Structures are given as structure tokens and as C-alpha cells.
Amino acid sequence: MKSAGPLKGRGAVVSPDGRFDAWQREAAEDGWWNEDEETPATELMVDSAKSVITYNDSPDIPYDRSINPYRGCEHGCAYCFARPSHAYLGLSPGLDFETRLAYKADAAAILRRELAKPSYVCRSVALGINTDAWQPVERRLRVTRGILDVLAETRHPLTIVTKSALILRDLDLLADMARGNRVHVALSITTLDPALARTMEPRAPSPQRRLSVIAALAAAGVPTAVMVAPLIPALSDHELEAILGAARAAGASSAGYILLRLPHEVKPLFRAWLDSHQPGRAEHVFSLMRQMHGGKEYDSAFGTRQRGSGPLADIIAQRFRGAVRRLGLDAPASPLDVSAFRPPPKPGSATPQMALF
């Protein structure tokens, strides 16, 4: 594991080698580390793919398909459950995940081809689930905007989870889709403490900015939820009710939460972050995680990986249910409309005659 040390604007303080690498490095204090060393710049790579829609049959998530325009995320959240996916690229889930990003340059064109297939059956697609579709590089790459253009044109329903204020750039499309009951957005908020957020989510918008995004989306008629995610025991779990209350005041109409997840390389990465930014807190956090995962710090089993189990997990669930009921955030979301979907013409084909009517 290579030691990076705390870097301004970056979340990882160590860079573990990927679990598929043929070698593993160990950190050693050799006097070469320079605290004034510049933060690594973001590097971009084109991610060539034959398809952009990823299908799943996981029983504990409410969608069977998703689109992720990017691999890696410049937000640099220390706890991100998606970090281990960078090992498939031969890169570190640590600093590489935040600084060496892959993007699907032709995502819109590929999506158009996929939606035009006669065999395609329309169901709601989740956008930006693995990594944020509106992370900072989207401002200039506009990959997500291209995907949204295709989904809006074909009247395809979608759900969104983001923590980015950049989503408001696309409010024109989202508001129109909302009028047809074809979109639902969730803003994730981990903490209301700006100092904690600044170190834990270094390039993500502040908590107050995210609340203002909820307000703007709700004012435009876009159904908006708050996701208290991740809920971190002994660090941010005491804020659960306060986050839900602030989101409700901003205009959120529903809510959810996800417990901290520590798969693969995330566990040592997050522990190193705690040791660096919250000294003395790591063992308390990990002890409570073990209490909610049958003695392990993480359990990948469906049904418990996002909520945990046992008395402590039950208490958190009860607190959440009580708060959303009191705040009126427990109304069931109405199903998104799939009946209006109109597949695009196949590339190179003439406009279908029936499309004229």
C-alpha cells in the first residue's frame, strides 16, 4: 500500500494496490515525502464500450439497469463504495480513483443504438449509480448531458442519485421529464458539518449547497428525495434526524439511507482517512460496524449490506422510520411512466412511417 498522505482537495490518504495486481507495495518512511508536493492533476482516458446500459438482478436495489458515464470520481469521497472498481482497470482504488478517470465519449450514440433494438423493453434506468454522473469533469465533457438528451427525446424514464450542484445545468430537461412523470432525483447528504464534509468529500458541493439543489429541483416540479448516505456510525449517524429535517424544509418529498459500506479496498482506505482526519475515532467506528455485520466489518449479503443487522442496526432503522413519518417523508413514490417511450430510429434507417402520426 503506497502512502500518499493528506493531499489538498483529495480524499484518499493511501493508495492501495488493486487486488488483481501481481505485486503489492508496502508504505515505508524513507524521508522522500514532501508535504508541500502539489496535488496530482486529473487525467482523463476514453472508456471504449460496446454498451452503456448495465443490467443487474440484485434483489435489494429497486432497478434492473443503470448507466454510468464515468469510471472513477473526482469528488474523492473517502468512503466511496465504488473505489474497488478501479482495480479492474489496473489502477489503485486510492488516489487513482480520484485522479485517473475514464469517460464514455460516445455514450449517447451507443445508448441510441441500444434503445433502437427491437428487443429492448423499456424500464426505468438509474443514472450515475456507481460514480457521480455530474462530477466536476462533466462540466466540460458533457457526457451525461448527451445521455439525458437521448433519454428525453425517447421519453425514457430514469432515476438519479447525485451530490452535485451541476445537475441544475440540466434543469430544462429534468423539469420537462418531470411533467411527464419520467424522472426522480435523489441528493445524497452525509453530514451537515461543512468542516467534516470538506475533508471527507473534498470536491463535492457543501451540504448547504446540496440543500439548495433540493430546493431548486423541487421548485421546478422535479420529485426529489434525500439519501442519507452513507450513514457512518460514531461519526455522522447522530445527524440522521437533522439531515432529514433540513432536506424536508428544502423541499424533499421522500428519503432513504444507506449504512457505510466497506468492500475490498475501501476498508483500509477509510481507516487510513479516519486515522488522518479523525484520530482516535477509527476503532469506535469499526467496532460499531462489526456489531452490525455479525462480527465482520462488512457483509456483502443481499438485504443486509446496505442496512446491517442486529440491535444497533434496528435502532437506526427505527430512528429513520420515526423521523420520516414525523416529517412526512414516507409517502410512497409513484411509479415512473414507461408507456410514453418511443424508441429512436435505427442508425442509418429512414424515419419510420408511423412516426409521422
Res. 29: pLDDT tops 50: no
- Give me the residue spans of the domains in the chain: 2-27+44-331
Specify the pLDDT at position 335.
Answer: 92
Specify the pLDDT at position 20.
Answer: 56
Average confidence (pLDDT) over 190-219:
97
More confident residue, 2 or 93: 93
What is the dotted CATH code of the domain comprising 2-27+44-331? 3.20.20.70
Task: Quote the percentage of the chain above a pLDDT of 90.
Answer: 74
Q: What confidence tens digit (pLDDT) does each residue in 221-267 have? A: 999 999 999 999 999 999 999 999 999 999 999 999 999 999 989 99
Print the SS3 string covering the chain. Answer: CEECCCCCCCCCCEECCCCCCCCCCCCCCCCCCCCCCCCCCCEEEECCCCCCEEECCCCCCCCCEEECCEECCCCCCCCCCCHHHHHHHCCCCCHHHHHEEEECCCHHHHHHHHHHCCCCCCCCEEECCCCCCCCCCHHHHCHHHHHHHHHHHCCCCEEEEECCHHHHHHHHHHHHHHHCCCEEEEEEECCCCHHHHHHHCCCCCCHHHHHHHHHHHHHCCCCEEEEEEEECCCCCHHHHHHHHHHHHHHCCCEEEEEECCCCCCHHHHHHHHHHHHCCCCHHHHHHHHHHCCCCCCCCCCCCCCCCCCCHHHHHHHHHHHHHHHHHCCCCCCCCCCCCCCCCCCCCCCCCCHHHHC
More confident residue, 104 or 63: 104
Q: What confidence tens digit (pLDDT) does each residue in 285-340 have? A: 999 999 999 999 888 888 788 899 999 999 999 999 999 999 999 988 889 999 99
